[in-house]
Amino acid sequence: MRFATRALRVAQEPDKQYQAVINPIYQSSTFAWDNLDTIPKIDYTRCQNPNRQTLEQVIAALENGNHCTVFGSGMAAVTAVFSLLQAGDHIAMASDIYGGTHRLCTTVLPRQGITMTEFDASKPETLDQAVNSNTKMVIFESPTNPNLRIMDIRKIVERAKAHGLWVAFDNTFASPALQNPLDLGADLVIHSTTKYLGGHSDVVGGAVVTKDQELGNAMFEWIKNTGAIPSPFDCWLTLRGVKTLECRMRTHCANAQAVAEFLEAHPKISKVHYPGLKSNPEHALATAQMTGFGGMVSCEVAGPATNARAVAESLKVFLLAESLGGVESLVGYPPLMSHAGMTEDQRVERGIPPTMLRLSIGLEDPTDLIEDLEQALATI
């Protein structure tokens, strides 16, 4: 089956009791045993639940993986991946990465005796300098948050495997509709299902997908022991979103392309970050490893930081809010939102100036989005 069909048909046969086309929500904490000699497949919702099981099977199929574990949030998924590390281990982290992952690596892992070194993922050879004798894992993402840099996944994987490292990759910005990192050699693919997979800004969740049985078992044991689970209703909502992922991403990409081209030509925008622009230095790489350029656009407003803030606060169709990947368009200000945990020097060093806005392009008419940006930019 092809992608859109898998999203609708994998593990989603009609309910056996009533032939319901949409499976019911199994809002039960516990499940009855027939007898003490036969342990049921599902007995307690902290360990597994029918709604969670279905969602895991579907996401695994969309990422071309064999095992998926879903979590109560994207950060719970990242934490589960880091649970593979032990005191004394070392991790190589891309410097251009989501602020929450950076915060976890710099504030939580050190208390557990795990050290970290950053590397420039746009230059795969820098990974070699970041690796120590106790390095066990590398983590990176592409497109990156919020710069939308495109990293050469194959080359980084090759470098990591030469050192015997686990490769963890955050695929949230692309979604499996546009990119399948497991096929490029990654060991663990992470998602904040809050974003494009759920797609409607009404549920929080995370997922880890792998082809490796041992790693899959480790993720399951971690969630069973820590209880960082999504509710049955959260899983049901996320699965509802996944059904339309392929067609939503087509519109996200088309709208983002139109917005990016408008911003690139606007005199009050000093820089546009979007891999779909032919002027983008990573356009060819994005074309080679993705099937679309995504629904995220970042831009830098000309002039002082107050101009960027004024534009963000003047938008009317775009909502000023954190998060991304929903059907509605959002504008975010990274210094106070996604990357607030970094110092200003750290942000600037990573190419996140105080003049940057991050746009999550939704499914509205692109003309309305462009007109909204035009009126907001006219206020400065």
Helix, strand, or coil here: 327? coil
Radius of gyration of the chain (CA): 21
The C-alpha atoms of residue 169 and residue 171 are separated, in whole angstroms, by 6
Residues that are catalytic: 46, 98, 170, 195
Q: What's the rounded Cα separation, in Å, for the pair 244 and 201?
A: 14
> Which pairs from 110-113 meet CB under 8 Å and 24+ separation?
112/85, 112/87, 113/86, 113/87, 113/88
Taking the C-alpha atoms of residue 266 and residue 300, their distance in angstroms, rounded to an integer, is 11
The CB-based long-range contact list for 214-218 (8 Å cut-off, 24+ gap) reads 215/67, 215/84, 215/166, 215/187, 215/188, 216/66, 216/67, 216/68, 216/69, 217/67, 218/83, 218/84
b/e burial code for range 190-216 (CB count within 10 A of at least 16 → b): bbbbbbbbbbebebbbbbbbbbbeebb
Helix (H) or strand (E) holding 209: strand 206-210
User: In this structure, what token pair is assigned to residue 296?
Assistant: 């995220």
β-pairing, 135-141 with 166-170?
parallel
Q: State whether residue 140 is helix, strand or coil.
A: strand
End-to-end CA distance of the chain: 51
The answer to whether 362 and 253 have CB atoms below 8 angstroms apart is: no
Q: Degrees (nearest 5) of the Cα angle 10, 11, 16?
A: 135
Cβ atoms of residues 361 and 249 within 8 Å: no
